Amino acid sequence: MSTPQENKIHKDLAPMIISGLQSSPRFFPSLLLWDATGVLTYERIMKSPDYYLTPTETSLIRLHADAIASKIPPNSAILELGSGSLTKTYLLLSALARQGKTITYYALDVCPSTLKSSLATLRHALHKHTPPTSITCRPLCMTYADGIAWLAADPSLTGQAVSVLWLGSSFANESRGDFQGLLAGIAGSGRAVQVLVAADGVKDGERVRRAYDTRDGLSRAFVMNVLENANASLGDRVFDAAKWGFEGEWDGEAGVFQTSICAREEQVVTIGGEEVTIGEGERVKVIASRKLGEGEVRAWLEGTAFEVGDVWRHPELDYCEFMKRCHFVLAMANF
């Protein structure tokens, strides 16, 4: 049975789908990627030999887990945005356990089934951990925006410093403006906050294209599932998958891989009581994967309350993790 939070997420998606289809250029909200089917497919993509991001980031975290953990104070909270399968998170929590720290860990994700199963696996692994851990894990089934509102309001965080984790290069699916808006919400929460993001700056077009259009066809299935999820959110079979195809395009100059769904034929869809004509070959954007090197991440932080603290680099690829600190909270919280 759907949870109230899940129902709210689905209900919120219907107007977003309608306005996205009426926009120019047209787009589907990227949240449509992340239902239970989408997340399970993504977990398979993470194991695909073409998808370099997960093994690269896993080795980066493995290499630097103790150093990253040493930046997280004892008796503090961690809020992970888009927590997913939690395999990388476990490496970090394990390092915190070795350092004997008491931590409350909040896994935030929009997909309730993933949250439930990945947290059960994580709790089991932490339970068996040597040395024993003082890490309490809690689920938050909500969107990034709702999670940031929660960060400001939830009384359980009173007096606690919070480290926000944003792994998987997911922050770079946001536009620079949206990312900065979310950072402003985090900084404005009134908490002592720091943010750890993982950034992928790999700009080899062929390598990036392979990662987002894997040869096993999984990334195509992952993206096309948006149509099923849109139909579920709209409560009607508005989109016929047979009339649509996957489109992926690498823009080397901008450093962005844009994934879209393309109409194979002209079609009229009736949505929100209105008819929308979509021409043959027209693309509806789904998600942008931006490749940001270290200098670009620094540029994205200009004008925000954050500055780069520590940077951990991958020995071979342009793949970094940044710990960002919030200036004004820095003074208050000893971060």
Residues that bind ligand SAM (CB under 6 A): 31, 34, 39, 42, 82-85, 88, 109-111, 114, 143-144, 167-168, 170
Nearer to ligand SAM, 111 or 192 (CB): 111
In 110-255, DSSP assigns E strands to 134-141, 162-166, 193-200, 244-251
**φ and ψ of 94, to 5 deg:** -65, -40
Closest CA to 100 of 78, 64, 139, 70: 70
Smallest separation, CB 288 to ligand SAM (Å)? 13
Contacts of the segment 325-334: beta carbons below 8 A, 24+ positions apart: 325/194, 326/186, 326/187, 326/192, 326/193, 326/194, 326/195, 328/187, 329/187, 329/191, 329/192, 329/193, 329/305, 332/192, 333/161, 333/192, 334/73, 334/161, 334/192
Residue 18: HSE in the Cβ half-sphere, 13 Å Cα cutoff:
13
In whole angstroms, the minimum distance from the beta carbon of 1 to ligand SAM comes to 20
Shortest CB 200 distance to ligand SAM, Å: 11
Minimum gap (Å) between residue 297 Cβ and ligand SAM: 16
CB 84 → ligand SAM: shortest distance, Å?
3
Closest CA to 310 of 299, 334, 296, 294: 294
- Among candidates 175, 156, 29, which has minimal Cα distance to 104? 156
The two structure tokens encoding residue 16: 């977003």
User: What gap in Å lies between CA 308 and CA 196, rounded to an integer?
Assistant: 10
Residue in 71, 98, 93, 61 with CA at minimum distance from that of residue 80: 93
Q: By C-beta, is 167 or 288 nearer to ligand SAM?
A: 167
* Structure-token pair, residue 233: 């959110």
Please tell me the distance from the alpha carbon of residue 81 to that of residue 142, in angstroms, as a whole number.
10
CB 57 within 8 A of CB 64: no
- Beta carbon of residue 315, minimum distance to ligand SAM (angstroms, whole number): 20
Q: 3-class DSSP state for residue 284?
A: strand
DSSP assignment of 132-168: --EEEEEEEES-HHHHHHHHHH-GGGTT--EEEEE-T
Which is nearer to ligand SAM, 104 or 118 (by Cβ)? 118
Name the minimum Å distance from CB 269 to ligand SAM: 24
Q: Given the complex with ligand SAM, which of 196 and 224 has the nearer CB atom?
A: 196
| 3-class secondary structure, 185 | helix
Least Å from the CB of residue 108 to ligand SAM: 6
In the bound complex, what is the minimum distance in angstroms from residue 15's beta carbon to ligand SAM? 16
Residue among 39 and 192 whose Cβ is closer to ligand SAM: 39
